[in-house]
Structures are given as C-alpha cells and as structure tokens.
C-alpha cells in the first residue's frame, strides 16, 4: 500500500512537470514571434527567459523521472537528490541567460539610440497572456510542491512567480515607449531597454535565492525548525531519558532521520524495541515518508547499588533472573539468584552461559566473593491443568493462616492438578500500612508451614493484598 501511494505521488509530479513543459513551449513560440515582429528587446528578453523556462521544465521532468528510481547499490539513499541538483543547475542557467540579456541591453543603452519598435496589440497581448499563464502555473506548482515535497517543482514555482514581475516590467516598458512616441519624450524611448535590464536583474536575484536554497539541500543542511520540532515531539516519549543525537538528511521529498536515544537504566531488549517503535511512530506523524533509524542504549546512573548492578548485567545479557539475594560478609559480597534457561538446553551449554554471566558480574560489581546460581527451566509453554476439589486442603490452609501473625484472612483458595503435580494458590489480607518487607516475611513463614503440613503440594503461590482492597 505504501509503495502504491509513493508511485502515485511520483506519477502525479511527473504529470505536473509535463503540463508545465507544454505551457513553456507555447509561451516561447508566442513571445519569440511577437518579439521579432515588434523588434522589442524586452519581449525578446522574455522569450529568452521562456526558452530557459522550457529547458528548466524539461530538466524538471527528467529529474523527477530519475528521482523516482528506487535505491540501488550505488545510491543506497535513493535518487531523490537529483531533484535538488536539477534545481541548482536551473539557477546556473538563470545567471547565464541574465548575463546575455544584460549584455545586449547595456550595448544598446551605450549606443544611445533606441530601437525602432512596432507597437501594436500583439506586443501587449503576448505579455498579458504570459502573466496570466505564469500566474496559473506558479500557483498550481506551488501547491503541488508543498503537497509532494518536491524541490524541482518548488524551483519551477519560484521561477514562474518571478516571471510575472518581469513580464509586468516589460509591459510597462512597452507602454512607456508608446507614451514617449506620442508625446515626443526621448528618454522614454529607452524604456524597453530598461525593461530588459530589469528582467536580467530579476533573473540573477531569482538564481541567488534558488541556488542558496538548493546548496543547503545538497550539502545536507538540516532545517533548524524541523529539528527543534522533532526534539519537542520526542521529549515526552516513554522510556526516553535523552535525545543524544538527531540527524536529518533530505533526499528529494523524503527525509532520512538518524536518532540516538538514551533509555532508562537497565532497560530490557524488549523495552528498547517498544521505545524504538513509539519514537518512529512519532517521527512518521510529522514526516510520513521518512526513513527512520533509531539507536538506543541505557543511560548509566551515577551510583547503582550491587543489586541494581547485578540486574543490569543480566538484562544486558537478555537473561531472566529472580530471587536475587546479596549478603554482606565484611568487605565482601556473596550473590545468589535463580536463572531461567531453555528447558531443553544441555547442562554443559547452560553451565558455560552461567560462567560467562558470573564473570561479567564479578567484572562490574566490586567486592564479589562468591556467586551461587540456581538453574531452572523457563516457562516455555502453558501447561494443562484441572481444578481439584480439595476442601480438606483448604480448611487446613485456613487454619494455618489464622495462626499466622498479622494475617487477617485467607480466601480464594484453589488447588490445580497439572501433569500429576498439585499447585495451591490463595489470597491473604494484611493491614494497609504493613511494610512490604514484613508482609513478605509473614507470607514466607506461612508457605513454609503449608509445605510441612501438606508435603504433597508441588507449588504454592500466595498473593498478599491490603484489607481495604475492594476489587473482590
């Protein structure tokens, strides 16, 4: 679907360029015939300008066809910059044509004689027609360049916008020559030559504006306003602590965005992937056709404790650990944790992986004396189970809970049979203000009492909740 939309945009740009090319041909022929008929340097200067417009329109049409080509081995970012390159060439052609027109006008001016002109309705009609056609073309091309982000169409729109002013100058020159003849004002007879100089000066000004703009694109100049806008959009992205690098590169109507983001410390690979997707989504909301590359890495905090350091090492290794305990023995630390690995992983391979993890922990956590790792299989699939009617088990668990300190009640007791193993789960209520550490201690004691009383249970899961909980 995206490829079809892109092809439609490229076809639309090429159709617009072809329409502009046809209009340039018509104006060139009209101006050239009338300029020769009237012997007007101003109209001939406009004909030369239209010839340049014809060449520019042809260059635009060709450049759009080349820019639409997909990326290849020699052009990994695509051919979009050929649009900007063609617009830059157009600026050079403007300067060359303006110098030729200016030279002819200056020679006639220095000669001190006004050319014999034939002023009739055709001379005025051609300039009025030129202004009308250029006005329609400029407005249409300006809208198209904005909609499709095309440098080539934008260059044509800017060119034709300036053509309106130069045509008006030529039209004014023709009118002044007519007034000079009627009222015998000699200096007004040079107005046509002056109009040609105005056309040349306008072309140079247009070339400078166009050249400056396209040079910035060709030299990968990033628009400051767009960079600021993108940084503002990413400022509140979840998980992003800092936008360390934001680089923009424009290729025709497309932008290539290169981002380097700092994430929250100890971010998992899965979390980093989620952040990259969210960031890319925010970029594409502002630049729908952008090619976005996001690089992420966790930001290190200034002072991480041993527990956070061990967890960070495991997360960077994409390993899941739990039941982490660290004991202080004088200046040394003893570390214990459970590590989940694939259930079908051979013990030798698992032991090598554990050895590498322990070596990384010793390298990053100072003072570690001993590490004990308990290996267990990770839950690879959902196991089948059935509820067991174990009223006797429930009564005995309730009795043990009533004798446990600070435990207010025990409810939702269930027993499941999964592959011959019995698993018990229950909910226990405590005071709302009891600290988590003390709650965990009470729950652990109750679990130990249940295991002693009911050794047939393979797994026990106790969920603590505050007495004020109203979700039941």
Tell me: the pLDDT tens digits for 153-201? 666 676 666 677 667 766 776 677 677 666 766 666 666 677 767 777 8
Provide the token pair at 378. 């990770």
Q: Are residues 34 and 105 in the same domain?
A: yes
Q: Are residues 261 and 321 in the same domain?
A: no
**Residue 472 falls inside a structural domain:** no
pLDDT of the residue at 452: 92
Q: Which of 183, 199, 218 marks a domain boundary?
A: 218
Q: Are residues 276 and 174 in the same domain?
A: no
Q: Are residues 324 and 294 in the same domain?
A: no
* Alpha carbon distance 356, 361 (integer Å): 9
Res 226 pLDDT > 50: yes
Q: Are residues 24 and 168 in the same domain?
A: yes
Q: Are residues 419 and 359 in the same domain?
A: no
**What's the pLDDT band for 451 if we cut at 50, 70, 90?**
very high
Rg of the chain on CA atoms, in Å: 40
How do residues 227-252 score in pLDDT, each as one tens digit? 788 888 887 788 787 888 888 877 65
The SS3 assignment for 435 reads coil
* Alpha carbon distance 22, 58 (integer Å): 9
Specify the higher pLDDT residue, 33 or 61.
Answer: 33
Instruction: Look up the CATH number of the domain holding residue 367.
Output: 3.30.70.1350
Specify the higher pLDDT residue, 73 or 338.
Answer: 338
Q: Are residues 155 and 209 in the same domain?
A: yes
Residue 239's domain spans which residues? 224-298
Res 114 pLDDT > 60: no
How do residues 402-442 score in pLDDT, each as one tens digit? 888 889 989 999 999 988 888 999 999 999 999 998 999 99
- Where on the phi/psi map is residue 220: left (φ > 0), alpha (ψ -120 to 50), or beta? left
Q: Which of 248, 276, 298 marks a domain boundary?
A: 298
Mean pLDDT of the chain: 77
Instruction: Look up the CATH number of the domain holding residue 81.
Output: 1.20.1510.10
> What is the Cβ-side half-sphere exposure of residue 304, based on CA atoms within 13 angstroms?
17
Strand ranges inside 252-381, DSSP E: 254-263, 291-298, 320-329, 332-341, 368-377
* Alpha carbon distance 126, 43 (integer Å): 9
How do residues 62-72 score in pLDDT, each as one tens digit? 666 666 666 66
Q: Which residues contact 5 (CB under 8 A, 6 or more apart)?
A: none
Provide the token pair at 304. 């991480």
**What's the pLDDT band for 3 if we cut at 50, 70, 90?**
very low
Q: Determine the straight-line distance between the first and last CA of the chain, rounded to whole angstroms.
A: 48
Give the CA angle between residues 117, 181, 106 to the nearest 5°.
55
Q: Which residues contact 176 (CB under 8 A, 6 or more apart)?
A: 188, 191
**Percent of the chain residues past pLDDT 70, beyond the cut:** 66
**Residue 471 falls inside a structural domain:** no
Res 116 pLDDT > 60: no
Contact between 159 and 90 under an 8 Å Cβ cutoff? The reply is yes
Burial (Cβ within 10 Å: 0-12, 13-18, ≥19) of residue 299: middle
**Residue 150 falls inside a structural domain:** yes
* Alpha carbon distance 164, 224 (integer Å): 31
Place of tokens 């012997």: 39
Q: Are residues 127 and 71 in the same domain?
A: yes
Number of domains observed in the structure of the chain:
4
Res 335 pLDDT > 90: yes
Residue 135, Cα to own-chain centre: how many angstroms?
A: 35
DSSP letter for 404, please: S
**CA separation (Å) from 385 to 141, 211, 412?**
69, 74, 17
Phi, psi of 421 (to 5 degrees): -105, 135
Q: Which of 298, 314, 341 marks a domain boundary?
A: 298
Q: Are residues 251 and 373 in the same domain?
A: no
* Alpha carbon distance 213, 208 (integer Å): 9
Place of tokens 């959902």: 382
**CA separation (Å) from 87 to 7, 57, 79, 106, 454?**
22, 10, 14, 28, 84
Specify the higher pLDDT residue, 376 or 130.
Answer: 376
Q: What is the pTM for the complete model shown?
A: 0.43
Provide the token pair at 115. 């050319």
Q: Are residues 112 and 45 in the same domain?
A: yes
Average pLDDT (336-352) is: 90
Sheet bearing 332-341, strands edge to edge = 320-329, 332-341, 368-377
- Where on the phi/psi map is residue 471: left (φ > 0), alpha (ψ -120 to 50), or beta? alpha
Place of tokens 């020159």: 173
Q: Are residues 212 and 253 in the same domain?
A: no
pLDDT of the residue at 471: 54
* Alpha carbon distance 459, 186 (integer Å): 112
């Amino acid at each position: 679907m995206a490829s079809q939309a892109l092809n439609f945009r490229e076809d639309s740009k090429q159709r617009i360029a072809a329409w502009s090319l046809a209009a340039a041909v018509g104006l060139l022929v009209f101006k050239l015939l009338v300029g020769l008929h009237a012997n007007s340097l101003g109209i001939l200067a406009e004909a030369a300008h239209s010839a340049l417009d014809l060449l520019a329109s042809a260059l635009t049409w060709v450049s759009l066809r080349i820019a639409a080509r997909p990326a290849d081995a020699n052009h990994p970012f695509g051919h979009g910059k050929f649009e900007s390159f063609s617009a830059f060439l157009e600026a050079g052609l403007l300067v060359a044509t303006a110098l030729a027109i200016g030279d002819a006008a200056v020679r006639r001016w220095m000669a001190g004689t006004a050319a014999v002109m034939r002023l009739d309705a055709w001379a005025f009609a051609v300039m009025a027609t030129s202004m009308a056609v250029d006005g329609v073309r400029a407005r249409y091309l300006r809208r198209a360049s904005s909609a499709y982000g095309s440098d080539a169409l934008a260059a044509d729109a800017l060119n034709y916008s300036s053509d309106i002013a130069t045509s008006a100058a030529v039209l004014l020159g023709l009118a002044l020559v007519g007034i000079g003849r009627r009222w015998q004002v000699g200096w007004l007879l040079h107005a046509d030559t002056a109009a040609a100089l105005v056309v040349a000066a306008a072309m140079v000004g247009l070339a400078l504006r166009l050249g400056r703009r396209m040079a910035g694109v060709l030299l990968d100049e990033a628009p400051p306003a767009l960079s600021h806008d993108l940084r503002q959009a990413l400022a509140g992205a979840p998980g992003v602590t800092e936008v360390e690098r934001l680089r923009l590169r424009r290729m025709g109507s497309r932008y290539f965005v290169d981002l380097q983001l700092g994430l929250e410390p100890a971010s998992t690979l899965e979390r980093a992937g989620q952040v990259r997707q969210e960031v890319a989504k925010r970029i594409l909301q502002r630049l729908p056709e952008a090619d976005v590359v996001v690089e992420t890495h966790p930001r290190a905090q200034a002072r991480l404790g041993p527990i956070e350091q061990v967890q960070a090492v495991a997360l960077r290794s994409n390993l899941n650990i739990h039941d982490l305990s660290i004991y202080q023995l004088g200046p040394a630390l003893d570390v214990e944790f459970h590590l989940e690995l694939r259930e079908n992983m051979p013990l030798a391979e698992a032991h090598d992986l554990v050895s590498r993890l322990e070596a990384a922990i010793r390298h990053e956590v100072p003072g570690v004396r001993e590490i004990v790792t308990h290996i267990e299989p990770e839950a690879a699939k959902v196991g089948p189970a059935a509820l067991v009617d174990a009223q006797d088990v429930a009564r005995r668990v309730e009795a043990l809970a009533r004798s446990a300190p600070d435990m207010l009640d025990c409810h939702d007791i269930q027993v499941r049979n999964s592959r011959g193993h019995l698993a018990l789960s229950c909910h226990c209520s405590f005071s709302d203000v009891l600290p988590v550490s003390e709650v965990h201690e009470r729950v652990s004691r109750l679990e130990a009492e249940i295991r002693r009383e009911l050794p047939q249970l393979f797994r026990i899961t106790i969920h603590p909740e505050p007495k004020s909980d109203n979700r039941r």
